[in-house]
Amino acid sequence: MILPLDSSYEDGRRNRETPSGGSCSGEGSEPRICEQGPSRRQFIRLTAGGAVAGAIGAAGVQLGTSNAVLAQSKLSPDAALQELMEGNRRFSTNGATAHEKDLAILRKNTIEKQEPFAAVLSCADSRVPVELVFDQSIGQIFVTRIAGNMVTSEIIASLEYGAAVLGTKAILVMGHSNCGAVKATIQAKGVPGQISALYPHIQPAVDQAGPNLEAASKANAKIQAALLRQASTVIADLVKKSELRVVAAYYDIASGSVTLLN
């Protein structure tokens, strides 16, 4: 599925980047970042005293938008999803920029507050590093991870906090290729310890999609997303008011691409 672009996307991005009408972000002695031109990634970094430390634009280092970190919850749900997908496109085409961001500034500006624009429920699999996959940095996405990307009470509580308190505008429930948890559920073999506690959560997807690993993994992401929409009154209410979107997705670890499933 291709996410439709809407006009609120650009509006949301402008809000995110220039919460004060294009002027600088940062208070008092905080490092300040200003938007220089029409490009969201062209910024001038000012020192604490306000002097220009250096022009940082298209030809130089592209700074992370620390102001974005503190205003990104103004994004619309569609814009938040689009931001994630754009980040994944950068990642999957070897054009990631998150590593170029000034982590010291992002850390400093998020000490007291976080406003992640989206949340992701992903598998614990080491091949699904969520911030990397979406080319995001400090303070930008609220991540919950558990083998099989399943919805539990604790996961619901975490995602409710992300949405209701922190203001995330989209929740991506993301399965992935070659998922060991789904594979184990399909095989239903004996496993040590409490690993089999994962099975009942994933079994409905196997029942629905059959023993094909990719089909079952995609079905599981869709089932968990639906469960999240239904099981949480907080999330259901935000979805009903069009203040939040909950979308299932599938990550192909070979290509690095994320596909939305519904």
**Residues near Zn ion, by CB under 5 A:** 123, 125, 179, 181
> What's the rounded Cα separation, in Å, for the pair 244 and 220?
21
Smallest gap from Cβ 123 to Zn ion, in A, equals 3
> What's the rounded Cα separation, in Å, for the pair 82 and 120?
14
Residue number with CB closer to Zn ion (102 or 125): 125
Smallest gap from Cβ 221 to Zn ion, in A, equals 10
> What's the rounded Cα separation, in Å, for the pair 63 and 60?
9
Residue number with CB closer to Zn ion (33 or 123): 123
Query: Given 3-state DSSP classes, what are the helix, strand and coil percentages for the chain, each rounded to the nearest 5?
Result: 45, 15, 40
Nearest to 256 by CA among 118, 168, 128, 112: 128
Residue number with CB closer to Zn ion (108 or 183): 183
Nearest to 257 by CA among 121, 43, 92, 33: 92
Tokens of 78: 């569609």
Smallest gap from Cβ 156 to Zn ion, in A, equals 19
Smallest gap from Cβ 1 to Zn ion, in A, equals 21
Residue number with CB closer to Zn ion (25 or 122): 122
Q: Which residue has the tokens 């308190």?
A: 165
Query: Contacts by 152-158 with C-beta closer than 8 Å and gap 24+?
Result: 152/201, 155/121, 156/228, 156/231, 156/232, 156/235
* Phi, psi values for residue 153, rounded to 5°: -60, -40
Is residue 149 a contact partner of residue 177, using CB atoms and an 8 Å limit?
no
Residue number with CB closer to Zn ion (45 or 218): 218
Smallest gap from Cβ 97 to Zn ion, in A, equals 27
Smallest gap from Cβ 193 to Zn ion, in A, equals 18
Residue number with CB closer to Zn ion (163 or 228): 228
